[in-house]
Structure 1
C-alpha cells in the first residue's frame, strides 16, 4: 500500500502523515511518498516527516521524498492532493488586490478565490494525467487543493472519468468548535448539511441521536460568537485576543489559531448571520458573501491572513526544522496534527475497507438536491465505500439558499469556461457575477490587476 502526498512541501504534510501512520494497521500502508516541484522546501518537510514516522511513532513505513512524478505515483493506491500554485506570495496578491478595490480579500472566496482557481485548474489536470499514467488502476485521488469548488468543476468538465473525490475540512473544523463549545464528544455527532464548497449550511446537528442545533443556537446568541469559552479565555490569558489587526500571527495551538487576527471576525460573523437568519448554522465562509462590506472594513489591506500564516505557521515550522537539523532537538508544537489529517486519512480508510462511513464530499448533484442543476458540484453527506461516494439525497432547499447557490454555481461555471477557452469576457462575467463584487466596473479593475499579477500562471485571456 503506497500513499503519495502531492504537495509534499505543505505545512500540513506532517500532520497528515501522522494521521496516516496512526492508522497504519487499518490502512496496511507500506510506503509514504512526498511529491513536490519545490525540492528544497519538500526536503525540509521530509526531515520532520521522517522523525514522525521513525523516531516519534517508531514505524517501519518507508518514506520516499521525490520531485520525479514517475517515482512518486508508480503503483500508488492513494494520492492526497494539496497543491498551492504560486505559494503564499500569490495568496498574498489574491487577498490584497481585491481589498485595494474595496472587495473581499480572501484566498478561496470572491476574486481571490477565482484567481487561485485559475492558477490551479491546469496543474490539477496535469496531476490527474500523471496519476492515471503511473498509479494503480483502482487509484483514488483525494483532493484538498483549494479552491475546491472551482477545481472540482474543472475536473468534472476536463477529466470526468478521473477517480477523484474533492473534500474540505472546514465543516469538520466547525463541528470541532461546536463540540468544544457544548462540551460533547464529536464521535457522538452526526449532521446534515447542504451547499457548495465554502458555501453551505448545517441543517441538523445530532449528538447520540438528539438534536442539538437549538442548544447551539442559544449558545451563539448568548456568547455573540461561535467560539468555546476555553478558546477565548486561553487566548486572553496569553495576551493574544483577536480583534487586533496587526497581531503576531498564528500560534501552534489550533484553538489559538481560531481566536487570532482575521479568524476572530469569522467566528463572530456566525452570530451576526444567525441573529437575522437563525434556522441553519452557516459555514463560516458565508460571511464573505453575506457580510462583504463589513469584512472589507474589518480587513487590513497591508496585512491579510496570508501574512498571518507566513509569520505564524510557516515561520514556526521551518524555523523548527532548522533547529532540529542543527541541534537534534524537536519541538512538536511546530506542526499541528488533528482534524485536517484525520479527515483525509479516515476517508482513505473508508474507501479501502468499504466501511460505508459517512463523510461530507463535493460531488455532481445528479438530482440529490432536486431544485439545483444536475451538473452542479454540490457539497453533501455521502456514505463512502470501495466504489466511492453514495450521496444522500434530500428535499428541495429554500429559495434564499437556492438563489445564493445558483449565483455562485454560475459564477464558477463561467470562470472555468473562460479559463479553458481563454475568454476574457467570460472571466469578466464570472467576476461581475460574484456576490463579493459591487459592480461591473470594479470587476474589470480587479480582473485587470489580477491578470498582471498572474501572468506567469494564467492562460492568456483574449
Structure 2
C-alpha cells in the first residue's frame, strides 16, 4: 500500500453527519493521508449541501485532499481503498412508520428492533448488497467496507452471507462506553483500561478491567455517576444496579432493557416516542441558539417527525455554509461518534496500529457454542492484516439464550430481505424474542409492508396480495 494515496468513498454522503467524518479526517491528517475523498448520494440536493460544507471545512484546515461529488456508485468506489456507508433508504418518513406502526399492534416501535427494525433491514440490505457488488467489481481487492448504517448487525449478516468483500459494521455504543471508562479510570494511562464487549448489535454486554482486575460492578456505579454529570441523556439508557449485578456484565442500553423488563420499557418507549419537540428545542436553544424558534411540530410529535423538521432546517443551514448546521445535527440526532468509530477503525487497518474495537463481523468462534460463520458484535484486535475477534469465556446461559434467539431472527430476516419471502419475514418476527404473538407479528408486518412498499420492491408480490385481502403465497 502507498500510504500517501488513499482513495476513500462515502456512500450516503447526504447524511447530516458527514462533517463528523470530515472532522476525524482533519484530526488524523498527519497519519491518515487521503488523496481523494469521493462523496456519493442519490439525492443531489443533500449531496451538494453537505459536500460543499465539508469542502469548506477542508479548505479552512488547509487539507490537500481532493473532494469529488458524484451520483454514480461505480465512479465513487473505483479503485477505492475504503468505502464508508451512511445510507438510510426511506429517510425520516420511513423511520416514523418503523417507529409508530408497531405500537398499533402491541409491539415495540423502534427503528432497529423488530418489527420496525426488520423493515428497516428490508430497505437497507438490498442497497448494501448493491454497494458490495460495486466494490467487488470496481474497488481494490483489499478494499474494506465500513458500514455505519442500521440495522448494523443484520447488514453484517447479509454481507457475510451474500458478498465476498472485506467489511466491518459499526455502532457508536462500544466507542461511547470505552471513552467513558477511559475518562473514569484512565487519567494516568488510558491503556490501563480494557473493555470487553460481546453479543449482537443492540444486544450487547460488556465487562471492564483496570490493570487486569475485573471492576465491572464498580465501573457501572461510576458510569451512572459520570453520565449524570457529563452526558445526562445517557443515564436513562442503563438498567438498575441490582440487575447489572445479577447479570455480571453491564448491559448496554437502551435496547437491553427491552429484553429484561419488556412491559415497563414498552410503556416508557411509547410515552417517550411522542414527547420530543419541546425537549429538543430547549436543548438546541442552549447549545446552538434560536435556529428552531420559528418552527413548530405537530402535537405529540414523534422523534422521527421532529428529526424530519430539524433535518430540513439543518440542510437549509448547510446550503448557506452556516456552521450551526452541524451543531444542530449533533445536538438533536444522537449519532455523533460514528465518525470517530469509523475513521479510527480505518486508521487501524491502514496504519497497522493494533487497536481494540467491537465491530459486527463473523464470530470465528469467539463465542463458545455459537456458529463461527454468524455475525456478532465482539471485541477484536485490528491491524493491517485484518480484524481478529478475541475469544471469550463461556457466557451465562440466559445471555446465550437471548443471543441464539435474536440471531435466528436476524438470519431469517436477511433471507426475507434478499428473496422477498413473506413466509421468512413472518417467521423472523415470530422467532424474535421481543415479539410475543404470531397474530400481532402478522398484522404489524402486513401494515408495514403496505405502508413502505415504495422502498420494498422485493416484496411486490406479497404486498399486492395483502392489498387485495389475500394471503401471500411466497
The TM-score, its normalising length taken from structure 1, stands at 0.84
- Does residue 287 in structure 1 map to residue 265 in structure 2? no
Note if 1:151 corresponds to 2:148. no
Task: Report what 2:402 is aligned to.
Answer: 404
Indicate yes or no: 2:218 matched with 1:215.
yes
The partner residue of 1:13 within 12, 18, 22 is 18
Q: 1:317 — aligned with what?
A: 314
| Residue of structure 2 in register with 1:246 after alignment | none
Any conservation in 1 of the 2:364–2:389 contact (CA below 8 Å)? no
CA contact (8 A) 1:368 1:394 kept: yes
| Worse overlay, 277-286 or 105-114 | 277-286
Q: Across the two proteins, how many residue pairs are aligned to each other?
A: 421
Q: What SS class does the counterpart of residue 431 from structure 1 fall into?
A: helix
Contact preservation (8 Å) 1:323, 1:330: no
- CA distance in structure 2 between the partners assigned to 1:277 and 1:454 by the alignment: 41
1:190 aligned counterpart, secondary structure:
strand
The Cα of 1:154 is off from its aligned counterpart by 1.2
Cα distance change, pair 386–227 in 1 and its aligned pair in 2 (3 A): same
Q: Which runs of 5+ in 1 are unaligned?
A: 232-254
Report Cα offsets for 1:396-422 as digits up to 9, x if no partner.
211100000010001111112223333
Q: Mean Cα displacement is larger for which, 415-424 or 185-194?
A: 185-194
Q: Distance in 1 between matches of 2:258 and 2:91?
A: 22
Which of 119, 127, 149 in structure 2 is aligned with 1:123? 127
Relative to structure 1, is the Cα distance of residues 457 and 390 closer, same or farther in structure 2, using a 3 angstrom cutoff? same
Instruction: Show the 5 A alignment for 1:361-380.
Output: 361-380=359-378
Using the TM superposition, give the Cα deviation of residue 86 of structure 1 relative to its aligned residue in structure 2, in angstroms. 0.9
- Report the alpha carbon displacement of residue 278 of structure 1 after superposing the two structures with TM: 4.5
* Residues 1:80 and 2:97 are matched in the alignment: no
The CA deviation at 1:206 is 2.7
Aligned to 1:52: 57
Secondary structure in 1 aligned to 2:76? helix
Which residue does the alignment assign to 2:204? 200
1:67 aligned to 2:65?
A: no
Partner residue of 2:166? 163
Contact 2:103–2:109 under 8 Å retained in 1:
yes
Aligned to 1:243: none
Q: CA deviation at 1:141?
A: 0.8
Q: 1:331 to 1:199 in 2, by over 3 A?
A: closer
Structure 1 window deviating more from structure 2 (404-413 vs 275-284): it is 275-284
- Partner SS state of residue 393, structure 1: coil
CA contact (8 A) 1:35 1:69 kept: yes
Alignment equivalent of 1:271, drawn from 230, 236, 240 = 240
Counterparts of 1:30 and 1:108 in 2: how far apart (Å)?
35
**What SS does the aligned partner of 1:8 have?**
coil
Distance 1:397 1:380 in 2: 13
8 Å contact 1:384–1:390 — kept in the other structure? yes
Structure 2 residue ranges without an equivalent (≥5): 1-5, 275-300, 463-473
Q: Cα 1:331–1:442, aligned 2, differ >3 Å: closer, same or farther?
A: closer
The corresponding residue for 2:137 is 133
1:359 to 343, 357, 360: 357
Q: 1:295 to 1:228 in 2, by over 3 A?
A: same
Instruction: Note the C-alpha offset of 1:438.
Output: 2.0
Aligned to 1:392: 390
- For 2:117 and 2:370, locate their aligned partners in 1 and report how far apart those are by CA, in whole Å: 22
**Is 2:34 the counterpart of 1:29?**
yes
* Residues 350 and 384, structure 1, Cα contact 8 Å, conserved in 2: yes
Residue 416 of structure 1 aligns to a residue in which SS? helix
Q: Deviations over 1:170-223 (max 9, x none)?
A: 1212333455567858944321121011111102x1345454323223346xxx
3-state SS in 2 of match to 1:34: strand
Closer/same/farther in 2, CA of residues 95 and 227 from structure 1, 3 Å limit: farther
**Do the aligned residues in 2 keep the contact of 1:9 with 1:38 (CA within 8 Å)?**
yes
Distance 1:278 1:409 in 2: 20
Q: Within 1, Cα distance between the matches of 2:100 and 2:448?
A: 10
Tell me the residue number matched to 2:100: 96
Structural mapping, 1:411-426, within 5 Å: 411-426=409-424
Aligned 8 A contact 1:110 1:435 in 2 = no
Secondary structure at the aligned position of 1:24 is classed as coil
